[in-house]
Structure formats: C-alpha cells, structure tokens
C-alpha cells in the first residue's frame, strides 16, 4: 500500500537521498556527471530544499510503502499568480519506476490543484528525458521550449508541458 504525505523538516534529508539515487540513473545519458553533481548540489542541498519549502512555497510530497520511501514530487499552487499548478519535481527510485507511482503522485496533485481552482498543471522536462512519453500518455502537451542558464556554463534544455484540468483525468 503506497502512502503519500507532505514532508516536514525531518524529511528533507529523505528528499535529498532519493534525488541522489534517482538523478545519476535518470540523467546519465543526458547530462554530464559534472552537471548532475552541480544540479544536485544546487537543488537538493538541505539549505536549498529548506529555501524551496519555507521561502518559495513549494509543497513536497513523499511517497512510499511500509518498507521504503520510493519517490517524491514538489508543486506550487497558483504559480505566478495564475490558476496554474507548477509541478517542479517528480522523481521515482529506479527500482520503483513503472509501478504507477508517478501517476499516483500526479493524480494526488491534480486533486489538490482542482480543489484550489487551478485549471492547468505545468511542468518542465528535459527535452531528451524518456519521461516525456509518460507525460504525454497522461494528458500533458508540449506548449513551448526553454533553455535556462543555471550557472557554471550549464543549461536546463527543457520542454514546457501543460495539462488542462477542466477536461481531463489521469
């Protein structure tokens, strides 16, 4: 039985651990080891996670069973003061991918978005990430592309994908 819960301060290290287990696997064919290390430090240091939650208003969820935490997601309601939920992050441990956990987390966030009168869920995904097919399968559509400089000469080279909540379900 999978359980989803909102993280609290003692869980920040769990987010960091899952990120460090998923990123090298997820991005090994897309990003250099140097960029993976840089981005993990930039986004998943405890101070960065703390800032994302306590200052930027991201809501992190952790999902798992009785034995293990298997993945996490982070979202923000009313993104940029619009009726839009931004899915900032979703990562599932490699051994738990394909079991429906990603869809479960997105469905959970979709219900929260709808309860808060948000009409769209938006996300960025690396244009070479195989997860694009998963997102398309559950109703996301590519709306634009972004190349975002993140420092040290690195970029996030992404598709922006949206899912309209008024006419769809996962």
pLDDT tens track for 53-76: 999 999 999 999 999 999 999 999
| Residue among 109, 27, 115, 116 nearest 73 (CA) | 109
Q: Is residue 117 part of a domain?
A: yes
Residue 138's domain is classified under what CATH number? 3.40.630.30
Q: What is the pLDDT of residue 167?
A: 57
Average model confidence (pLDDT) for the chain? 95
- Please give the model's pTM, rounded to 2 decimal places: 0.93
Model confidence pLDDT, tens digit, residues 15-48: 999 999 999 999 999 999 999 999 999 999 999 9
**Rounded Cα gap, residues 31 and 42, in angstroms:** 15
The parent domain of residue 31 ranges over 3-164
The residues with which 85 forms a beta bridge, in sequence order, are 121
Q: Could you tell me if 40 and 23 are in contact, meaning their C-beta atoms sit under 8 angstroms apart?
A: yes
Instruction: Indicate whether 169 belongs to any domain.
Output: no
């Amino acid at each position: 039985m999978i359980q989803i819960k909102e993280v609290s301060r003692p869980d920040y290290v769990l987010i960091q651990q899952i990120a460090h287990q998923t990123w090298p696997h997820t991005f090994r064919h897309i990003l250099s080891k140097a960029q993976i290390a840089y981005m993990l430090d930039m986004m998943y240091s405890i101070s960065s996670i703390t800032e994302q939650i306590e200052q930027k208003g991201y809501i992190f969820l952790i999902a798992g069973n009785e034995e293990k935490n298997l993945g996490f997601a982070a979202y923000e309601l009313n993104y940029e003061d619009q009726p839009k939920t931004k899915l900032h992050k979703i990562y599932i441990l490699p051994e738990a991918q394909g079991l429906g956990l990603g869809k479960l987390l997105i469905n959970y966030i979709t219900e929260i978005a709808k309860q808060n009168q948000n009409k769209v869920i938006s996300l960025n995904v690396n244009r070479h990430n195989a997860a694009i097919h998963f997102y398309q399968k559950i109703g996301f559509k590519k709306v634009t592309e972004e190349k975002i400089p993140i420092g040290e000469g690195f970029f996030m080279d992404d598709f922006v994908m949206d899912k309209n909540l008024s006419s769809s379900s996962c």
